[in-house]
Amino acid sequence: MTELPALAYVNGRLATGLLDLTSDPAALDSTGFWVVVQTYEGELTAARFESVREVDLAEVRSRWPWRGPHRQDWESSIDEGTYVAAVEKIRDYIAAGEVYQANLCRIMSAPVPDPAAIDVVGLAHRLAVGNPAPYSAVVRLPAADLHVASASPELYLSRRGCEVTSRPIKGTGRTAADLLPKDHAENVMIVDLVRNDLGRVCEIGSIAVPELCVLEEHPGLVHLVSTVTGRLLLRAGWPELLAATFPPGSVTGAPKSSALRIIDELEPVGRGPYCGAIGWVDADRGLGELAVGIRTFWAAGGMLHFGTGAGITWGSDPDREWAETELKAARLVALASAG
């Protein structure tokens, strides 16, 4: 079967004609239009494309109709009982003063009916109709064995020259009435973490929080979203910016170093593109926009994967946190599934 051509659809732009593939973040400060996928574990794939044009996703043709996994075939890397116990473990760490918050995630996986006829562009069409999102993207890079479709609502980093913005999400419910004081506290903690991360590579005094805990509505749920801005130091480019802020604070925890250690202890499998970064960089114009890789599917080894998680604080109810992961997954997994 003929290999699918490389393409990406990000920010309303269709990128075709693959020119280069690299794992070097310094390339993002060179020339050209780059599509970026960085896994939570830090593996960077940057693809430079020859042609970029603004189109509607409906105009991007999928090679085959989407045939997703059967709903009953999805399995979770962490079952409910284990997840609840892990939440309690994080609360123990909080009581001991080792961490204030940690994001606990699980990976859902299911076999696709025909791995040889899978095209994530078809899945992206389903997501665009059933779960529109501000940072929707699809990346198809057969040469890198990378096939990702994302309906992310969260901005990790936006760059306009030296001006940088991040919009962390923390606090999720079906409606605004579901949000608790714990959700607001969770958001504020992550805002402080993002301020600290950006402060490593931004001018002193330039960090600002123009929006704090703003309610945003998305299909089937609501989020609390804050905005953090800063002005990059002249010596800082994409390598320094990513090194200072990755993985995103909203999907790790605070302090980040402790949260990363706890996540590594409690999560049995890697997160892959989930909780990483997905987006684009226009190196010629000094522009870029990377989303947090949440609400994200990726295909590998004949399987389709999807991640879901929740931020755990001292005020967390373990059963409620499990329910939050179910809420975040339900709509999207249904869209990706067959029957």
Output the tens digit of pLDDT for each of the chain's 339 residues: 468 999 999 989 999 999 999 999 999 999 999 999 999 999 999 999 999 999 999 999 999 999 999 999 999 999 999 999 999 999 999 999 999 999 999 999 999 999 988 999 999 999 999 999 999 999 999 999 999 999 999 999 999 999 999 999 998 888 999 998 988 999 999 999 999 999 999 999 999 999 999 999 988 889 999 999 999 999 999 999 999 999 999 999 999 999 999 999 999 999 999 999 999 999 999 999 999 999 999 999 999 999 999 999 999 999 999 999 999 999 999 999 975
pLDDT of amino acid 1? 42
**Residues contacting 290, CB < 8 A, separation 6+:** 36, 38, 155, 156, 157, 158, 277, 278, 279, 280, 281
203 catalytic? Reply is: no
Give how far the C-alpha of residue 105 lies from the chain's centroid of Cα atoms, to the nearest Å: 12
pLDDT of amino acid 85? 98
Say which CATH topology domain 7-65+77-334 has: Anthranilate synthase (3.60.120)
What sign has the CA pseudo-torsion 208, 232, 291, 16? positive
Contact 291, 156 (CB under 8 A): yes
| Catalytic-role residue among 50, 154, 163, 267 | 154
pLDDT of amino acid 180? 86
289 catalytic? Reply is: no
* Cα dihedral 304/305/306/309 (nearest 10): 160
| Catalytic-role residue among 3, 88, 170, 211 | 170
Token readout for 8 is 């990406």
User: pTM (2 decimals)?
Assistant: 0.96
Q: CA-CA distances (angstroms) from residue 35 to 95, 134, 137, 250, 271?
A: 42, 17, 10, 22, 20
* Radius of gyration of the chain, Cα coordinates, nearest whole angstrom: 19
